[in-house]
């Protein structure tokens, strides 16, 4: 039987993870697979762009699939798909060529949101010198080459990418001010008190933060010389880094007559209304939800790979329970579920340590965890994520969840890396087999190569295991 042609449009983390999952399920037995990527470089982890900004090579954040043999896959890097002719089943690419397909998966991701600001563009219609969007590997390299010790930088956006970038620029010797429109940092993941705690921790590192503000005007002719905030404050700056959100890339779907809303509309099989067309990742909208986090995107990839490979054709994506554990500008942060109680009977447990600038909060409904957040002190975060993800009943004394795990609990096998579903026992076995660094454990097991939020926990497991070995 002749193989059908399956094309993946987009070579970001979603496209790369789908390819990995397809290869793990031996999908090349039934498909010839082609991957189209607009960027000329191999797939990389956008969450870790701060490492490149800090001076590491782009290879340091390359998305390395667990399946190395991709000899049956054809890559088209640096080639943009401009339109899909869904009737003729052909791709129209930026080089003027047409490419036939049988099935297509759109994984075009998101683009940086650039808000309207007076003076943003030059008379030629380009961003002024010193103004950068922060979304791609090229963006990180451009910002890195322009950073100068003693200079002034403004970072517009107080989310993960913006705060990471701000910390790196401050470490390079720049005077950095973070400007954030919402009243507190990371407002989608943290409540106001947690956001204020994070702000204080970041300001302790030498950064300045202005929440509840935005930029109304950029000064300078061809290059930036400063900005005026919406309250009239002028801030001198030779650099403006824009990291204030993303928007799903749905232009290809729109051009091709594929139904869209905020994202490309898909059902539980990740299929669009157009036969033969699927969508995954940040460009896809499922049940009214567009996801911008690694964990749900990887879950979508697993379901679609099950279906397309024929390994589990009844697999369905029902949405994701959102949780994240991150290290933001050196500060441990974890968040999951709702930010505030929603019903009168919801319980709230909060621990605030003002001197240490630590904050922990649990929201409980009917003995189940429905929300939690941790800033500064991650104690209990791993247990909270497990309880939240599995819907497990909590101990009668809720504070037990926020304590260091007992020796018996530490021996319990569990997922350490939620993105790659790597269990504690696998990591310990890798250490016993000679892995002596977070990087070597990641290379061996895949743990920490998704969103990267578990790398600090992997480090603690490594240290604990090594100390226990020395003590024998």
Q: Residue 388 maps to which CATH number?
A: 3.30.390.30
Q: How many CB atoms lie within 10 A of CB 411?
A: 10
Structure tokens at 204: 């302790």
Q: CA 195 to CA 185: how far, in whole Å? A: 5
At residue 442, the pLDDT reads 81
At residue 69, the pLDDT reads 65
Based on the fold, state whether residues 153 and 76 are members of the same structural domain.
no
Of 263-267, 295-299, 378-382, 449-453, the poorest mean pLDDT is in 449-453
Based on the fold, state whether residues 253 and 106 are members of the same structural domain.
yes
Residue 407 has pLDDT above 90, yes or no: no
Q: CA 440 to CA 419: how far, in whole Å? A: 18
Structure tokens at 436: 């002596």
What is residue 296's DSSP assignment?
H
Is residue 78 assigned to a domain?
yes
Q: CA 66 to CA 466: how far, in whole Å? A: 26
Based on the fold, state whether residues 304 and 333 are members of the same structural domain.
no
Write out pLDDT tens, residues 93-146.
Answer: 999 999 999 999 999 999 999 999 999 999 888 999 999 999 999 999 999 999
Domain coverage including residue 472: 407-472
At residue 408, the pLDDT reads 41
Is residue 302 assigned to a domain?
yes
Mean pLDDT of 340-369: 95
Beta strands in 277-411 (DSSP E): 277-279, 284-286, 323-328, 331-337, 347-353, 358-365, 368-375
At residue 167, the pLDDT reads 95
Q: How many CB atoms lie within 10 A of CB 242?
A: 24
Is residue 317 assigned to a domain?
no
* Sequence-ordered list of residues with C-beta below 8 angstroms from that of 388, at least 6 positions apart, any chain: 321, 323, 336, 337, 369, 370, 371, 372
Q: How confident is the model at residue 446 (pLDDT cuts 50, 70, 90)?
A: confident
Q: Residue 468 maps to which CATH number?
A: 1.10.10.1100
Of 263, 278, 309, the position where a domain reaches its end is 309
Of 203-217, 225-239, 383-397, the poorest mean pLDDT is in 383-397
Is residue 92 assigned to a domain?
yes
Based on the fold, state whether residues 399 and 377 are members of the same structural domain.
yes
Is residue 123 assigned to a domain?
no
Q: CA 235 to CA 225: how far, in whole Å? A: 9
Write out pLDDT tens, residues 45-72.
Answer: 988 899 999 999 998 899 877 766 677 8
Based on the fold, state whether residues 305 and 358 are members of the same structural domain.
no
Of 197, 223, 244, the position where a domain reaches its end is 244
The pTM of the full predicted model, rounded to 2 decimals, is 0.87
Based on the fold, state whether residues 258 and 233 are members of the same structural domain.
no
At residue 14, the pLDDT reads 96
Write out pLDDT tens, residues 287-341.
Answer: 999 998 888 999 999 999 999 999 999 999 999 988 888 888 889 999 999 999 9
Number of domains in the chain: 4
Residue 241 has pLDDT above 90, yes or no: yes
Of 382, 404, 426, the position where a domain reaches its end is 404
Is residue 121 assigned to a domain?
no
Query: Would you mind telling me the total number of residues written for the chain in this entry?
Result: 472
Based on the fold, state whether residues 240 and 254 are members of the same structural domain.
no
C-alpha distances (whole Å) from 447 to each of 129, 405, 412, 436 are: 39, 21, 18, 14
Based on the fold, state whether residues 304 and 371 are members of the same structural domain.
no
SS3 category, 227: strand
Based on the fold, state whether residues 385 and 411 are members of the same structural domain.
no
Residue 285 has pLDDT above 90, yes or no: yes
Structure tokens at 340: 């505030």
Based on the fold, state whether residues 219 and 278 are members of the same structural domain.
no
Task: Give the percent of the chain with pLDDT over 70.
Answer: 94
Is residue 289 assigned to a domain?
yes
More confident residue, 57 or 443: 57
Mean pLDDT of 2-29: 95
At residue 63, the pLDDT reads 83
Q: Residue 165 maps to which CATH number?
A: 3.50.50.60
Based on the fold, state whether residues 141 and 185 are members of the same structural domain.
yes
Contact 5, 32 (CB under 8 A): yes
Based on the fold, state whether residues 107 and 252 are members of the same structural domain.
yes
Is residue 42 assigned to a domain?
yes
């Amino acid at each position: 039987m002749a193989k059908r042609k399956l094309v993946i449009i987009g070579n970001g983390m979603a496209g790369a993870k789908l390819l990995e999952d397809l290869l793990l399920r031996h999908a090349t037995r039934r498909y010839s697979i082609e991957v189209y990527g607009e960027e000329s470089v191999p797939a990389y982890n956008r969450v870790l762009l701060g490492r490149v900004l800090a001076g590491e090579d782009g290879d340091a954040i390359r998305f390395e699939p667990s399946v190395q043999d991709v000899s049956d896959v054809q890559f088209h890097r640096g080639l943009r798909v401009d339109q899909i002719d869904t009737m003729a089943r052909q791709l129209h690419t930026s080089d003027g060529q047409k490419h036939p397909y049988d099935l297509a998966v759109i994984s075009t991701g998101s683009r940086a949101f650039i808000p309207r600001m007076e003076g943003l563009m030059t008379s030629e219609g380009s961003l002024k010198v010193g103004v950068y969007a922060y979304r791609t590997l090229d963006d990180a390299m451009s910002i890195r080459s322009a950073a100068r010790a003693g200079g002034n930088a403004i970072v517009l956006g107080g989310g993960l990418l913006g705060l990471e970038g701000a910390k790196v620029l401050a470490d390079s010797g720049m005077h950095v001010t973070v400007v954030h429109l919402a009243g507190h940092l990371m407002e989608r993941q943290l409540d106001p008190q947690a956001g204020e705690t994070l702000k204080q921790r970041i300001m302790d590192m030498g950064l300045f933060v202005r929440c509840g503000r935005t930029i109304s005007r950029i000064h300078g002719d061809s290059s930036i010389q400063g900005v005026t905030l919406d309250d009239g404050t002028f801030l001198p700056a030779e650099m403006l880094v824009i990291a204030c959100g993303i928007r799903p890339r749905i232009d290809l779907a729109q051009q091709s007559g594929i139904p869209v809303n905020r994202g490309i509309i898909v059902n539980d099989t990740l299929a669009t209304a157009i036969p033969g067309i699927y969508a995954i990742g940040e460009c896809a909208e499922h049940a009214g939800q567009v996801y911008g986090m690694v964990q749900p995107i990887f879950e979508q990839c697993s379901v679609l790979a099950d279906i397309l490979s024929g390994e589990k054709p009844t697999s369905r994506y029902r949405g994701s329970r959102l949780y994240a554990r991150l290290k933001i500008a050196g500060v441990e942060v974890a968040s999951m579920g709702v930010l505030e109680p929603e019903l009168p009977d919801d319980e709230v447990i909060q621990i605030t340590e003002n001197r240490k600038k630590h904050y922990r909060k649990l929201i409980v409904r009917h003995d189940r965890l429905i929300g939690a957040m941790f800033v500064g002190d991650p104690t209990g975060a791993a247990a909270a994520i497990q309880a939240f993800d599995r819907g497990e009943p909590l101990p009668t004394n809720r504070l037990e969840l926020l304590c260091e795990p007992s020796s018996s609990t530490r021996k319990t096998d569990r997922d350490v890396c939620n993105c790659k579903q790597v269990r504690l026992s696998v990591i310990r076995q890798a250490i016993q087999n000679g892995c002596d660094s977070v990087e070597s454990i990641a290379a061996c097991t895949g743990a920490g190569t998704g969103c990267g939020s578990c790398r600090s926990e992997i480090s603690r497991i490594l240290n604990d295991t090594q100390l226990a070995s020395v003590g024998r």
